A and B are shown apart, each in its own frame.
Chain A
Amino acid sequence: MKNESIAFIMAGRRQRHRRWILVTSFLVVLACILCGAMLLLGNTIHPVKDVIRALLGEQIQGVSFAVNTIRLPRMLAGVFAGFAFGVAGDIFQTMLRNPLANPNVIGITTGSSAAAVFCIVILHASGAVVSIASVIAGLATVTFIYILSRGRSFSIGRLILIGIGVQAMLNALISYLLLVGAEQDIPAALRWLSGSLNGSQMHELPPLILSVFIFAPIVIMLAKQLSILELGEQSATSLGINTDRTRMLLILSSVCMISLATSTTGPIAFVSFLSGPIAKRLVGVGFSNVIPAGLVGINLVLAADLIGQFAFVVRYPVGIITGIIGAPYLIYLLIRMNRKGEL
């Protein structure tokens, strides 16, 4: 009897593990297909053979420029920003135990975006200055919102409300900076208010790519502890986890990643909000959600960018598409949470 139930549990675990591997590999394959589409599709569609040769460094008239200078940076920006938004969003949502508590809704990405606009438009800085400023602004925004929402007792509802207020202020600030910098054209405004991959350039990418390679492994390693944190503070402590240190590390790493992603692509709307819940739906409970969430983030950004580029007569930036997809889901989630009385 006892052996039977253990075998039953083990079988369930194996089954969930199989599902995890299956879903993850499916997401990887899908992401690869979308990456290919990003490289192949454009104003002119070049033969696959030419695209590959151009990527390998051969100079082909017309193809090399389109692929290496326009499409490749755009694709890489989408991949790394999508991964960063997805992973960081999932970390926040799991840690605060509320899907609404993600960097996009509570205004962290807006803080980074404001700092990036200030550096680029007003100081005419680029590279490291922009990266450092946006990371500092992201961390400052988190700290600010957290201190304000602590009050007499911490409440997640208060944190979200304050985050919405902070976001409204920062958006106003971005509008002002764009006006002062005389950069008030539509592409610039859309990039910094809702995110866009248009005009991504190779030399802007290294900070983002580096941060994902440094911080994603840290986050993924800590993710196991995160699922224990989900059981609640006391259980986590009794299972031997240093909750404060784990939290600090997770917040720091997540904020660094999304801040650098934001300083490259702008705050792509709702990706950090959508990825976690979608990944959880696909993977189910029991296994770490972080890697699938990052992969969902990549797929969302690339798919939305392809839709924005090619599905309509006019080209829409990726943030508009993710906004149109994400906001109804936010409303649906609110309806469900309200019904269950979770808010």
Chain B
Amino acid sequence: MKSSSAVSKMHEVNSHIPKNFMVVLVIGFVLLGLSVFLSLSLGSRMVGLQEVLDGLFRQDIDSYEANVVRKRISRTVFSLFCGAALGVSGALMQAVTRNPIADPSILGVNTGASLFVVFGIAFLNISSAHQYIWLALAGAAITSVFVFGIGSLGRSGATPIKLVLAGAATTAALSSLVVAIMIPRSHVMDQFRFWQVGSVGSATWDGIATFIPFLLIGILIAILSAPALNALALGDAIATGLGVRIGILRLVAALGAVLLCGAATALAGPIGFVGLLSTHVMRLVLGPDLRFVIPMSAISGAVILTISDVSGRVIGSPGELEVGVVTAFIGAPLLIILAMRSKVSSL
């Protein structure tokens, strides 16, 4: 009885495109365009629409404003990519752990990646974006295994509260170590804060070029595994019955999540809550089908991170508030709401 209703649910999930998908898609792209424009025009120096267009398309114009806009292009592109990576990574982590309160930062994975990069900078003399990324991936992978290992001990398996606590404890431990490694070497506050609270301010074209392959592979993994992850959402037994090899699926999807958030952290530092926010917004409007939620989480993640970055620049003007601070401030209330709504038994 239970399985037949699950199969019919499965069938329903697989056959329908959510009614409002096109609307959401259009709104998503409009917001994306808007956030790109805002990111190019706002900051400690405000620039109008005409100057933004000049800076983008008229290489012959050499006004101060046009140059400000050109300076902001790499930052904007990077924040879009980084947001997309974090959004999809969050969606994958939620699907793999079957836990609504999962996100690279809440599970401590970003801090793990950050610690490895800081360690590499301090003791192994690494300095290129390419090396950062490999170290960050190693850190993210090890931390994920560690946190999930702790969180799933005991009879009841990996419940949300156990995972979140394991993540919070790991974050506390690792970020103390990050600070301890950084203090003797921190001549500048910016550099010091960067590995504690993420920021997209220091993006370079080189870094973005290194980042793109990881982003593409990660998103490809996410999109390809989405149908199987839909089955996994129905429970291990049913997923196995539907022909999903759950062990391999979990491994591959987790690998995708680690690739995405590790690479993002290598270049942006640990930015929190983007995955949590983007995935939940998308699930709210589109329903649970991951074939739609995952790609749209990329778009909503990009919008959220870019708008947060713009807000950080405007609020913090003439300096800037790191984007990681902004996303924590808007993302943490969602964590609270999710905790309030969850049933006691599932905690």
- Is A190 an interface residue, CB under 8 A from the partner? yes
Show 28 residue pairs from A and B whose CB-CB distance is below 8 angstroms, ordered by the A residue: A105-B168, A149-B339, A153-B344, A157-B347, A158-B161, A158-B344, A161-B335, A161-B339, A165-B332, A168-B272, A168-B331, A169-B328, A172-B329, A172-B332, A175-B325, A179-B316, A179-B319, A186-B183, A269-B176, A316-B180, A323-B175, A324-B173, A326-B172, A327-B173, A334-B162, A334-B166, A341-B156, A343-B161
- Is B209 an interface residue, CB under 8 A from the partner? no
Contact A158 B173 (CB under 8 A): no
- Is B192 an interface residue, CB under 8 A from the partner? yes
A residues contacting the other copy or chain, number (CB 8 A):
50
Chain A residue nearest in CB terms to B167: A164
Compute how far the CA of A189 lies from the CA of B340 in the bound complex, rounded to whole angstroms. 31
Range for the number of chain B residues in contact with chain A: 35 or more
Task: Given A175-B325, A324-B180, check contact A186 B189 (CB 8 Å).
Answer: yes
- Is A243 an interface residue, CB under 8 A from the partner? no
Min distance, Cβ B172 to any Cβ of chain A, angstroms = 4
Contacting residues, chain A, for B347 (C-beta < 8 A): 155, 157-158, 161
Question: Main SS of the interface on chain A?
Answer: helix
Interface residues of A in 206-264 (CB under 8 A from B): none
Q: How many A-B residue pairs have CB under 8 A?
A: 146
What string of 1s and 0s marks CB contacts (under 8 Å) between B115-143 and chain A? Answer: 00000000000000000000000000000
What string of 1s and 0s marks CB contacts (under 8 Å) between B165-190 and chain A? Answer: 11011101111110110011010010
Chain A residue nearest in CB terms to B319: A179
Contacting residues, chain A, for B153 (C-beta < 8 A): 335, 338-339
Contact B183 A320 (CB under 8 A): yes
A-to-B contact residues, CB < 8 Å: 100, 105, 148-149, 151, 153, 155, 157-158, 160-162, 164-166, 168-169, 171-173, 175-176, 179-180, 184-186, 189-190, 194, 269-270, 313-314, 316, 320, 323-324, 326-328, 330-331, 334-335, 338-341, 343
Contact A158 B176 (CB under 8 A): no
Min distance, Cβ A208 to any Cβ of chain B, angstroms = 24
What string of 1s and 0s marks CB contacts (under 8 Å) between B89-105 and chain A? Answer: 00000000000010000
Contacting residues, chain A, for B319 (C-beta < 8 A): 179, 184
Contact B172 A323 (CB under 8 A): yes
- Is B269 an interface residue, CB under 8 A from the partner? no
Chain A residue nearest in CB terms to B345: A155
A153-B344, A339-B154 given; 19 more Cβ-contact pairs under 8 Å: A158-B344, A162-B339, A165-B339, A168-B328, A169-B332, A172-B326, A172-B329, A186-B192, A194-B176, A194-B179, A316-B180, A323-B173, A327-B170, A327-B173, A331-B173, A334-B165, A338-B151, A341-B156, A343-B159
Min distance, Cβ B42 to any Cβ of chain A, angstroms = 17
- Is B150 an interface residue, CB under 8 A from the partner? yes
Contact A184 B189 (CB under 8 A): yes
Compute how far the CA of A180 lies from the CA of B321 in the bound complex, rounded to whole angstroms. 9
Compute how far the CA of A158 lies from the CA of B345 in the bound complex, rounded to whole angstroms. 10
Contact B165 A160 (CB under 8 A): yes
Contact B169 A185 (CB under 8 A): no
Task: Given A162-B339, A165-B339, A334-B165, check contact A155 B333 (CB 8 Å).
Answer: no
Contacting residues, chain B, for A314 (C-beta < 8 A): 183-184
Contact A169 B340 (CB under 8 A): no
Contact A158 B183 (CB under 8 A): no
Contact A334 B173 (CB under 8 A): no
- Is B315 an interface residue, CB under 8 A from the partner? yes
Chain B residue nearest in CB terms to A167: B332
Min distance, Cβ A184 to any Cβ of chain B, angstroms = 6
Contacting residues, chain A, for B26 (C-beta < 8 A): none
Min distance, Cβ A283 to any Cβ of chain B, angstroms = 25
Contact A334 B321 (CB under 8 A): no
Compute how far the CA of A331 lies from the CA of B177 in the bound complex, rounded to whole angstroms. 15
Compute how far the CA of A117 lies from the CA of B165 in the bound complex, rounded to whole angstroms. 27
Contact A100 B165 (CB under 8 A): yes
Compute how far the CA of A338 lies from the CA of B151 in the bound complex, rounded to whole angstroms. 7
Chain B residue nearest in CB terms to A323: B176
Chain B residue nearest in CB terms to A315: B183
Min distance, Cβ A327 to any Cβ of chain B, angstroms = 3
- Is B322 an interface residue, CB under 8 A from the partner? yes
Contacting residues, chain B, for A269 (C-beta < 8 A): 172, 176
- Is B336 an interface residue, CB under 8 A from the partner? yes
Contact A173 B329 (CB under 8 A): yes
Count chain B CB atoms within 10 A of each CB in A153, A313, A314 and give the residue with the most. Answer: A314
Count chain A CB atoms within 10 A of each CB in B156, B177, B339 and give the residue with the most. Answer: B339
Contacting residues, chain B, for A316 (C-beta < 8 A): 180, 183
Chain B residue nearest in CB terms to A326: B172
Contacting residues, chain A, for B156 (C-beta < 8 A): 341
- Is B197 an interface residue, CB under 8 A from the partner? yes
- Is B202 an interface residue, CB under 8 A from the partner? no
Contact B154 A176 (CB under 8 A): no
Contacting residues, chain A, for B169 (C-beta < 8 A): 327, 330-331, 334
Contact A331 B170 (CB under 8 A): yes
What are the 10 tightest A-B residue pairs by CB atom distance, in nearest-first order? Answer: A327-B173, A323-B176, A161-B339, A157-B347, A338-B153, A165-B335, A165-B336, A168-B332, A172-B329, A169-B332
